Amino acid sequence: MATITPITTTPSSSSNEPLKKNKKQCLGWIEWLRGWFHLFYEFLFQRIMASHLHNPMPLPPINDLTCIVTGSTSGIGLEIARQLAESGAHVVMAVRNTKRANELIQKWQTESAGLVDLLSLDSVAKFAEAWNARAAPLHVLINNAGIFSIGEPQKFSKDGYEEHMQVNHLAPALLSILLLPSLIRGSPSRIVNVNSIMHHVGFVDSEDMNVTSGKRKFSSMVGYSSSKLAQVMFSSVLFKRLPAEAGISVLCASPGIVQTNVIIPDFCYNVGSRSTLFAATDPQISEYCELLKSDEWPVCAYISHDCRPANPSEEAHNLQTSFEVWEKTLEMIGLPSDSVDRFLEGEEVKCRYGQEQQ
């Protein structure tokens, strides 16, 4: 298994600059070119870079862990859930297709399922409320479910948000915050977000999270990459807001570029699950996150597809935008801006979603 060593790259200068008056409207062309370079580099060399890893990934003893995995009925999430369950963890499949989940549960016999549709923030809030009501510890939350609707026109959820932004960022953010009481109970615990190398070509305008202002032309690429960058930015602020004593690590993991519907998709998903499994179970992760916190590193831990610590994009280091994305996200998901502090104090926090009668 790969070992963790601190990142040696220095943070971008933007993290240390005073707040800029002129708001950035898009990525600079050098940043944009660098982003595409990262993407093509990973596409071309990922097999070589990850050749030191075993397949499937051997996991440490995890019999005592309770893990929630979203989107675990197919693809990378299914592999993550299967490998965690086979290694002895109690896995909760947080999915919208409960029929398929129950078929898998019967096959694996160690799991349970809960209904969550990330296109409905009500559904996310109700899932979290039901889970917290168990008063049981949660050790690992894996926000895996995601969409990339290639070539499709812009679509909006019933909550009124662009679908990539909602499924890939807003709903996982709501789930992470609402599950804090259970994660505190399970401390040391982890939130692992399945992110993407494509965040390197993303740009987030906190005043235009739905890409409707006309300042940028929408495409599925814009929707997907922006949502993945928003997730890194939000995770970085969450990571900062959680004191080391809370014992909750927040990470993003990139699965690599996993080609689906090709000759051996199972093998690909197996490979794509490794960085997340590593982030969720490696014993050195908490220590590594604490190290980043004590160094006041501007971004949360980011684990690359080859299970090595990586540096997220230059734009992800933009603290001004990250705090704006944090504030805007909390507003969009219907939570007060001091939610984290209040959860840490053991207070009840009301969310705008999940309130009406079922």
Ligand X SMILES: NC(=O)c1ccc[n+]([C@@H]2O[C@H](COP(=O)([O-])OP(=O)(O)OC[C@H]3O[C@@H](n4cnc5c(N)ncnc54)[C@H](OP(=O)(O)O)[C@@H]3O)[C@@H](O)[C@H]2O)c1
* Residue 272 vs 354, nearer CB to ligand X: 272
Q: Which of 35, 75, 202, 223 binds ligand X (CB under 6 A)?
A: 75
Q: Which of 7, 59, 76, 333 binds ligand X (CB under 6 A)?
A: 76
Q: Which of 34, 96, 342, 352 binds ligand X (CB under 6 A)?
A: 96
Segment 246 to 265, residues that bind ligand X, using CB under 6 A: 255, 257-258, 260
The residues pairing with 142 across neighbouring beta strands, listed in sequence order, are 69, 192
* Residue 35 vs 77, nearer CB to ligand X: 77
Selection from 108, 123, 115 nearest residue 94 by Cα: 115
* Residue 76 vs 211, nearer CB to ligand X: 76
Min dist. Cβ of residue 304 to ligand X (A): 11
Rounded-to-integer distance, Cα 76 and Cα 90, Å: 18
Known catalytic residues? 224
Choose one: 17-25, 92-100, 241-249, 330-338; the region binding ligand X (CB under 6 A).
92-100
Answer yes or no: are the C-beta atoms of 320 and 298 closer than 8 Å: no
Rounded-to-integer distance, Cα 225 and Cα 211, Å: 12
Rounded-to-integer distance, Cα 276 and Cα 78, Å: 12
* Residue 92 vs 184, nearer CB to ligand X: 92
Q: Sign of torsion, CA 148 119 140 251?
A: positive
Give the x/- contact pattern for ligand X in 110-149, rule: CB under 6 A: ------xxxx------------------------xxxxx-
User: In this structure, are strands 248-253 and 189-194 parallel, antiparallel, or unpaired?
Assistant: parallel
Choose one: 30-38, 39-47, 69-77, 205-213; the region binding ligand X (CB under 6 A).
69-77
The residues pairing with 69 across neighbouring beta strands, listed in sequence order, are 93, 142
Q: Is 285 near ligand X (CB under 6 A)?
A: no
Residues in the chain: 358
| SS3 assignment, position 88 | coil
Measured between alpha carbons, how far apart are the two ends of the chain, in Å? 46
Q: Is 73 near ligand X (CB under 6 A)?
A: yes
Site residues for ligand X per CB under 6 A: 71, 73-77, 95-97, 116-119, 144-148, 167, 194, 196, 255, 257-258, 260, 272
